[in-house]
Amino acid sequence: MFFWFMCYLVDMWLISASDGNCPKLPPVDNSIFIAKEWEGQILGTYLCTNGYHMVGEKTLFCNSSKGWNASVPECRLGHCADPLLVNGEFSSLEPVNVNDTITFKCNEHYILKGSSWSQCLENHTWVPPFPICKSRDCGPPENPTHGYFKGTGFNSGSNITYYCEARYRLVGTQHQQCIDGEWSSALPVCELFRKAPKPAELELEKALLAFQKREEICNAIAKFTQRLKKSGLTMEKVKYSLEKKKADLKARMLLGHCS
């Protein structure tokens, strides 16, 4: 109590040292208040004593032209903050003490996302964090770029079908269903069809390919002829040498067959 009183005196001194536009903050039961001046503003922090938890803003600041930014908080009985579950209920409404465990349950047409229980720890926190109750119905689905869907109603069990605009094809799952608040598959995409080449374009491509192969053959022949000239040979000598090797090979094959 003495410590709280001293902190409150410091608070009053800081406020009186300002321009006087900040109203006096009332004391909060079961709390300690600490105030200080920071960058031309008055900052006040409430700390709940052991066995109580805070409801509201912990730190308030006073602007000389606007006053305090929020209303005074409360320190309520209980070691951890009161449990909260929108569209659901929990097992206990009594003040929470350390090591207390509560369980959660969602209302009809809602599904629990997260842990079904939580425990109050010594550091005034709940672990695991509170879950949420999510509607079993799905929100309106998105439209893919250059695409759209068909289907009415987005409640649980509803079906939709995706389509693409002309010249686009669907990549992904076309038929989807709303299951426990989520659509059964990821959003598909619409890809642009690659334009098919015309017959004339195909013939031109074939002609260019053939010309390229012909050019490669001609280059190979030209290089071979240049090597013959450098070595002093002629096409006739090469032809004669090849014919002679061919005859020798036939003779060896005949001899090997007869033996």
Is 203 within a domain?
Answer: no
Instruction: List the end-to-end C-alpha distance of the chain, in Å, as a whole number.
Output: 125
Q: Is the pTM above the cut of 0.85?
A: no
Kindly state whether residues 156 and 97 are assigned to the same domain: no
Tell me if 166 is assigned to some domain: yes
State whether 22 and 64 are in the same domain: yes
pLDDT of 51 strictly over 80: no
pLDDT band at 256 (very low <50, low <70, confident <90, very high): low
Strands 74-77 vs 110-113: parallel, antiparallel or unpaired: unpaired
**Per residue, what are the HEC states of 175-230?**
EEEEECCEECCCCCEEEECCCCCCHHHHHHHHHHHHHHHHHHHHHHHHHHHHHHHH
Q: Could you give the C-alpha distances from 11 to 32, 37, 48, 179, in angstroms and in order? A: 11, 9, 17, 56
Query: Can you tell me the distance from the alpha carbon of 215 to that of 35, in angstroms, rounded to the nearest whole number?
Result: 90
Which of left, alpha, beta for 167 (phi over 0: left; psi -120 to 50: alpha)?
A: left
**Total structural domains within the chain:** 4
Lowest mean pLDDT among 142-156, 181-195, 210-224: 210-224
pLDDT score at 258: 46
Which one has a higher pLDDT value, 212 or 67?
Answer: 67
Residues 6 and 73 in one domain: yes
Same domain, residue pair 46 and 70 = yes
Q: Which residues contact 104 (CB under 8 A, 6 or more apart)?
A: 83, 85, 88, 89, 90, 91, 112, 115, 116, 117, 118, 130, 131
Per-residue confidence at 127, pLDDT binned at 50, 70, 90?
very high
Assigned domain for 73 exists: yes
Same domain, residue pair 227 and 177? no
**3-state SS class at 144:** coil
Q: What are phi and psi of 17, to 5 degrees?
A: -75, -15
What per-residue confidence (pLDDT) applies to 196? 61
Residue 42: predicted pLDDT: 75
- Percentage of the chain exceeding pLDDT 70: 78
Q: Cα separation of 117 and 103, whole Å?
A: 4
How confident is the model over 47-54, as a mean pLDDT?
Answer: 80
Q: Answer whether residue 1 shows pLDDT above 60.
A: no
If asked whether residues 71 and 93 sit together in one domain, one would say no
Residue-number span of the structural domain to which 122 is assigned: 88-134
CATH number at residue 122: 2.10.70.10
The arithmetic mean of pLDDT across residues 161-189, rounded, is 93
Asked whether residue 62 falls in the same domain as residue 25, the answer is: yes
Task: Say yes or no: 8 and 62 in one domain.
Answer: yes
One domain for residues 18 and 68: yes
Residue 73 DSSP label: -
Please confirm whether the linkage preceding 128 is cis (ω < 30° from 0): yes
Residues 71 and 18 in one domain: yes
Q: Which stretches within 41-111 are classed as H helix?
A: none
